[in-house]
Chains A and B, each alone.
Chain A
Amino acid sequence: VITGPDLANELVLRGLAEWVVIERAQELASLDEHARVRRREHRVLWQLTVHVDTPAGRGSAHLVIDAAAGSASAAVDQAVALARASVGPAWISRPLAAPARVKLEDPALATGDLADAVRELVDKLPRPVGVTARASLLRERVDVVARQGFHTEWTATLARVDALAIAGRRSLAITREARQLGGLALSAALDHAKRDLHLLQQAVAPSAGPCALVLRADAMLHDDGLGVWSAFASQADAVVERQGLTRYRERAPIAPGADQMAEPLTIRSNGALDFGVRSAPLGDQGDAVRVFALVERGTAAGLGLSPREGALRGRDPNGGVRNLEVATGSWPGTLDGVAPRVVEVRRLRSLAIDPYTGEASLEIALGIDHTAGASQPFRGGSIRIDLIASLAKARRSATAITRGAYKGPDAVLVERAELLG
């Protein structure tokens, strides 16, 4: 069985250029209402990063090691061999910076039996419609040790609920994830599901044609992730940018005219957001997580930088793209006078984004067609859209929400789109 001190000792003996060991001791409890299964897991995982300097340059390796996967010596052997096999241009690690100060642990989950907590979570689930849920709670202690004598630790919690809401002969799947139980906002999620299930029962087939497009929160953040905003996270990948494969470069407008808008788009990566699901004091390579702008008033402003990418560019690493904070706008979210025809998309069934171009295909699960004062729910149809250009010029609502890894407006309005049947 591998232990943390064994790993550190083995790494010290190898005389490596740099190394970081992250130990994650995880406790997980889950409850599946439908299957009537209560599950507990205990596991200890290690993430091992090593850098080997050779005359030809520096090689790096990142391994995830199972607790029972053999000896520390063999694991380090493998990591070193892997690093030697991937030697690239030389770079020098910057001294490890202070970890971000961020709260990741829900005090309500810090102690006590997670199995009891998950049962209570499910028991107290609001049920405005028929709901069956699967909930899980994770409590994790993270220890980080690095060659430079650096040592830090923290604890984190994570709650996740996957629910199936049913009303009549219609159903909707809902997923919520948060560091705190209160952050799940399940009551609102299920109320929205109830309303949308009612709309689904009246829904008809879509009518193709040009329209203005409104994306409400459940559609905009499809699958409880970053949703349409993930197009910007892809563009902020430093490796892809260095290869020249991103759509725009730093200090250039993200789309023609994006910096000339009345309310130009600003997006920040905030990995130090208290209780953000992608927040952490340190990244997986021991790099300090920092807040940085991806887009500043319509202009590309920054990239997610790993230690290697930061060193190659002469900048500090920042932990990569994490939670996204999108600046709100002044649009009140109402549809009056917006356009002769407005398609309000409430739920998507799939969202496919080309990470290089930002071109996207949105398959609609539920929408409302607002034409000439009448509103008709519909299901089906799709929208194909250039997300970068469209979101750069979209009107953003004044109301902010925080959900999963997203904090920003709860809706956007794109003035020109086309609904496909």
Chain B
Amino acid sequence: VLASLGVASAQAALWACGARQRPARRRASEIHPEIRTWLRDAVATLLGAGFSAVQVLAVSRQRTTAAVDVLGAGVARARTTGVVLTARDRDGALREHVTNALSQDGIAAAVEELAPKARAASVDFGPPPRPLPVPRPDPDLLADGQILARVAALAARDRELSSRIVYSAAVMDIDDARVWSVAPGRDVEQRLVRVRRSITRVAWDGSRPIISEAARAWRGGLDDQDLADSELAAAREGALAMMTPRAFEDREYPFALDPAVTASLIEAIVQTLLTSTAARRPEVADRLAIGARAAPALVTLIDDPGVPGAYGGFQFDDTGAPANPVRLIDSGLLATRLARPRRAGHVARVEPLSSHLRLLPGAVERDQLLDEGFTLEGPLGTVVDPASDRVVIAVARARERSGGKRTGRMFADIELVGDLSSLLASVTALSNQTTVIGVRDEVGGQPRWRSFDMPWLRGRGMLRARPRAT
């Protein structure tokens, strides 16, 4: 269940099912103090070989997943390292050489393959980076028991569990990455501690499990944030909610997207239409020229990795460039395309990817957003077709509202479908409250972290039931 939710790896879930608490263990950072010297030597050698635009990116990453569920508790740790050498050759092509051996010999071997028998050039790397602030507490020094104690405390906070809840879990997922980027004139280092706390509740409704989750994700200290009591209660009530058994009538309705569904839609739009890669498709380039209207004037969208504590944020990107905000949509007009280079796990190939997307809030109280219609909750996936402008947003639940209040009817597995341009044109309000959502997924075994600061969004469109068991 945890793996299906994406809140933990299957491995961590397996561990969580009945694990005993392991004895306390201290695992200090195993970073060699000479690592910066090795990376600088690599840059100097590549420059000496005649390459330009040389950069060496290195990462040492530890993932710690602690879980407490109905069967027991456990902690899993996994460590990954990698080095990416990037250089432009005389033909103007970029060369990348990647190895997972973060050692003097490993880096030297990679350099030798890219630039055999080259001599090091003299390079000014600029001022050395300032010492990194150490997070308190330092997750690298915490014993399993200390992390598990935090998760157990979270699990113990919601005592009003019903007998209908067949599964419950609390999870703390910590990605602790140290990243070095060394290039002529720019030698930088960052430590990115990304924390995600979540609880999961599962109950049966007829023949289907209803899964409800509450999560918070941030970058910083382990104890910087925690789930509020109201969030715990909402997760419990979400799992226990009974779905309306009668058939859903497929037609056009007013709707409100909750922030998680808004985030799903916004991410699909950004990745499918607003990146520099997406613009290679003529349909996208034709439809969305810079300065063209992309959305109603109330929509302003910013990718801002420098927001303190943002789960998807950073101090510098995977080319070593500082984290500057990029305004993608400004009052409904396309301002620029997203070209920020990021690498999954800091080692995969470069792709433009958002970091911390902020959809600026509106002026309407969230409870006053919708008089009649459905509030769509629990994103299951959004598909935007750049060729046909078609959008399909799948959600787990649609709550009916009438007269500004919930009617109590709730339908499972609903899709919002239609043309994206029509859907966006129908957006008439954004709430003045926002919620931050952190997302971690993996591509080719390497993680990608993003976050979204999103309001509730009101619009109108075609709702229909998704395919269901017969």
Which residue numbers of A lie inside 8 Å of B, CB to CB? 1, 30, 32, 34-44, 61-64, 66-70, 78, 81-82, 84-87, 132, 164, 166, 168-172, 200, 349-350, 352, 354, 356-357, 359-361, 363, 365, 379-380, 382, 384, 386
Q: Which residues of A contact B19 (CB under 8 A)?
A: 81-82, 84-86
Write the chain A residue with the least CB distance to B113: A40
Q: Is the interface of A mostly helix, strand, loop or mixed?
A: strand
Which residue of A30, A42, A61, A85 contacts B20 across the interface (Cβ within 8 Å)? A85
B280 touches A43 (CB 8 A): no
Bound CA span A359–B465, Å: 13
B78 within 8 A of A: yes
- State the main secondary structure of chain B at its contact with A: mixed
Q: Is the CB of A1 within 8 A of B101?
A: yes
A84, B22: Cα distance in complex, Å: 11
Chain A residues with CB under 8 Å of B80's CB are 66, 69
Q: Which of B36-44, B90-98, B312-320, B328-336 participates in binding chain A?
A: B90-98
Contact of B15 among A85, A170, A386 (CB under 8 A): A85
The answer to whether B79 touches A41, judged by C-beta atoms less than 8 angstroms apart, is no
Q: Which of B88-109 contact A (CB under 8 A)?
A: 92-103, 106
Q: Could you tell me if B282 and A82 are in contact, using CB atoms closer than 8 angstroms?
A: no
CB neighbours (8 Å) of A200 from chain B are 387
Q: Are A380 and B388 in contact (CB-based, < 8 A)? A: yes
A68 engages B95 (CB within 8 Å) = no
Of chain A, the residue at the smallest CB distance from B347 is A41
In-complex Cβ contact of A363 among B14, B94, B392, B467 (8 A)? B392
Kindly list 19 other residue pairs between chains A and B, CB separation below 8 angstroms, not including A35-B94, A68-B103: A43-B98, A43-B100, A66-B80, A68-B100, A81-B22, A82-B11, A85-B14, A85-B17, A85-B18, A170-B387, A350-B385, A350-B392, A352-B381, A357-B467, A359-B467, A359-B470, A361-B466, A365-B387, A379-B387
The reply to whether B349 and A62 contact each other, CB–CB distance below 8 Å, is no
Taking beta carbons and an 8 Å cutoff, which residues of B are in contact with A?
11, 14-15, 17-20, 22, 30, 72, 74, 76-81, 92-103, 106, 110, 113, 280-283, 286, 349-350, 381, 383, 385, 387-388, 390, 392, 394, 415, 417, 445, 466-470
**Chain B residue nearest to A350 in the complex (CB):** B383
- Contact check: which of B96, B282, B286, B417 meets A38 at CB < 8 Å? B96
Kindly list chain A residues whose C-beta atoms are within 8 Å of the C-beta of B470.
357, 359, 386
Task: Assess whether A365 is in contact with B22, with CB atoms less than 8 Å apart.
Answer: no
CB distance B469 to A354 under 8 Å? yes
The 3 closest A-B pairs by CB, nearest first: A85-B19, A359-B467, A39-B96
Question: Which of B19, B93, B106, B467 neighbours the largest number of chain A CB atoms within 10 Å of its CB?
Answer: B467
CB distance A166 to B282 under 8 Å? Answer: yes
Contact A68 B392 (CB under 8 A): no
Contact status B78-A86, CB under 8 Å: no
| CB atoms of B93 and A38 under 8 A apart | yes
Judging by beta carbons under 8 Å apart, are B103 and A1 in contact? Answer: yes
CA distance A69 to B102 in the complex (A): 10
**Minimal beta-carbon separation of A20 from chain B (angstroms):** 16
Bound Cα distance from A364 to B390, whole angstroms: 10
Q: List 16 A-B pairs, Cβ < 8 Å.
A: A1-B101, A35-B94, A37-B96, A40-B96, A43-B98, A78-B77, A82-B76, A86-B14, A86-B18, A132-B280, A170-B283, A171-B387, A350-B383, A357-B470, A363-B383, A386-B470
CA distance A242 to B468 in the complex (A): 22
Q: Give Cα distance in the complex from A61 to B9, angstroms.
A: 13
B17 touches A384 (CB 8 A): no
Question: How far, in whole Å, are A418 and B387 apart by their CA atoms in the complex?
Answer: 23
Contact A40 B281 (CB under 8 A): no
Residue of A nearest to B390 (CB): A380
Complex CA–CA separation, A61 to B387 (angstroms) = 44
Check A30/B349 contact, CB under 8 A, given A1-B103, A68-B100.
Answer: yes
CA separation between A168 and B100, bound complex, in Å? 43
B385 touches A40 (CB 8 A): no
Residue of B nearest to A205 (CB): B388
Residues on B with beta carbons closer than 8 Å to the beta carbon of A34: 280
Partner of B469, one of A41, A164, A359: A359
Give the complex CA separation of A140 and B467 in angstroms.
41
Task: Decide if B383 touches A349 in the complex (CB within 8 Å).
Answer: yes
Asked if A36 meets B385 with Cβ closer than 8 Å, knowing A78-B77, A168-B282, A386-B470, the reply is no
Given contacts A69-B78, A85-B20, A365-B387, contact A63 B96 (CB under 8 A): no
Q: With A and B bound together, what is the CA distance between A172 and B283 in angstroms?
A: 10
